[in-house]
Each structure stands twice: as C-alpha cells, then as structure tokens.
Amino acid sequence: MSVASPHALFDLSGKVALVTGGSRGLGLEMVRAFARAGADVVIASRKTEACEAAAAEVRSLGRKALAYGAHVGAWDGLEGLVDAAYGAFGRIDILVNNAGMSPLAPSSREVSEALFDKVVAVNFKGPFRLTALIGDRMAKGRGGAVVNISSTGAIRPHPRFAAYAGAKAALNALTHAFAQEYAPAVRVNAIMAGPFLTDIAKAWPEEQRSRAHNALGRPGLPHEIVTAALYLVSPSSSFTTGSVIEVSGGTL
C-alpha cells in the first residue's frame, strides 16, 4: 500500500474550521495552518478588529474567512456565533476550542468569585456549550472533528493558578465524554499544551522565556502546535478520538 504525501495526509480542502481565540497566539497559528491546508476559517475572539485582521490574512492565502467577535464564556452569545458560521458556510467540519485565560493569583484565598467564574467560563463552560451546539449538528450531518486546547496545568497544578488548572482538568474530562456522545461521526480530542512563547509570554521574566522546566528545557514556539492540530483535525487521525495529546516539551 502506498503512503500518502505529507500534503495529502493533512489536506483540508473543502473543510470549514471554527477556531475560538483565533486572532492571536496558538489560535492564529492554527488558523494559518488550516487555511494553508485548504480550509475556510471562522475566527472568533472578543476583539472583532483582531479577528478581521486574521480573516484578511486567511483571504490572502486564497481561502474564505468569517470574523466574529464573541466572548466564549457568555453562554447565550454562542448560538449567535454558531448561526453566523452556518449562515456563511452552511456547515462546520472542524471546531477548535482554543480561547482561554490563565491569570495568576497570590493565593487561592485572594481569588474573587468574579475571577473564579470568569476563568471557569472561558476555559470550561464555553467549550462545553460550543461543542454541544456544534457537535450535535456534526453528528446529525457529515461528522467532524473537535479539538480542545488544554494545558499541562491540568496534571501539574500550582496554587497560583488553581482555578485554571481545575478548569483544564475538567476540559480533559469533557473531551472523553463528548468523544463518546458524538461517536462515531464526530471525533473529539485535546492537545495538552505546555509553555509557549505567545503574546502572554511577553510579560514573563527573561529566564522564563528562555528556559522551561521540561525535558527540552525551553518553551515552545507557537508554530510547534501546528502539526498536532493538523493531525487531529484531518482524516489521517480517523482512529483517534477521546485522546489527550501532550505537546509540552516533555513535562517533568
């Protein structure tokens, strides 16, 4: 049996992808990769202007794009995002729940209820609701692939980001649950990301930007998320579902 070329393995021609938090960081890298692989892309984040800039980049690659300003933690607002995506393209084949937030706190005692609720809403409630809305349509239609962007914080929690770690651990559990609920037409997986030099890393101390407590001894570069993402959303991973794949440089 012949082996397909790398391009054919990751070919997304004719697919429509929706990426939350898609206007910067890891989300933008995935948006670019999906467009280069042939997909049209819906880019959602809170800042519409940033979504528009990312959409313009997708169009420059010869693909169609929809920019949509949305707060993924707002339960009632997500139906508008889904309706807009289906209205523009008629379907969604790929959903990437990438939007997240990871504020640090001096102690758990000093975390306010408002901050706790916001962290859980963005990192867990939003992906739950969006996957339920889109996964149900996928399962009843042509199928699809969902990828949740989790964090190694889920398995290596720290008191300064306990709420975030808990939300990401819940997202890992959600990945397994939805993989069962929407099988066999929909595959649901997660990428458990380690430290990456995205926009948020600009506030890190220089030592933290150049070194990391992992096997490779460094943070990841944003483009290093792309291959795992392409694998999970492409037909090449047809026997992979309910999996949490670690892309972390080797968690210690």
Query: Which amino acids are annotated catalytic?
Result: 164
Residue 69, both tokens: 């300003």
Residues 6+ apart with CB under 8 A from 203: none
116 close to 163: Cβ distance less than 8 angstroms: yes
DSSP 129-181: HHHHHHHHHHHHTT-EEEEEEEEGGGTS--GGGHHHHHHHHHHHHHHHHHHHH
What does the DSSP 8-state code read for residue 221?
A: P
> CB 89: neighbour CB atoms within 10 A?
18
The residue ranges of DSSP E strands in the chain, in sequence order, are: 16-20, 40-45, 65-69, 94-97, 144-151, 186-193, 244-247
Q: In whole angstroms, what is the distance from residue 246 CA to residue 154 CA?
A: 11
Helix (H, G, I), strand (E, B) or coil at 90: coil
Order the strands of the 144-151 sheet from edge to edge: 65-69, 40-45, 16-20, 94-97, 144-151, 186-193, 244-247
Task: For 85, list phi and psi in degrees, rounded to 5.
Answer: -65, -45
The number of helix segments (H) and strand segments (E) in the chain equals 9, 7
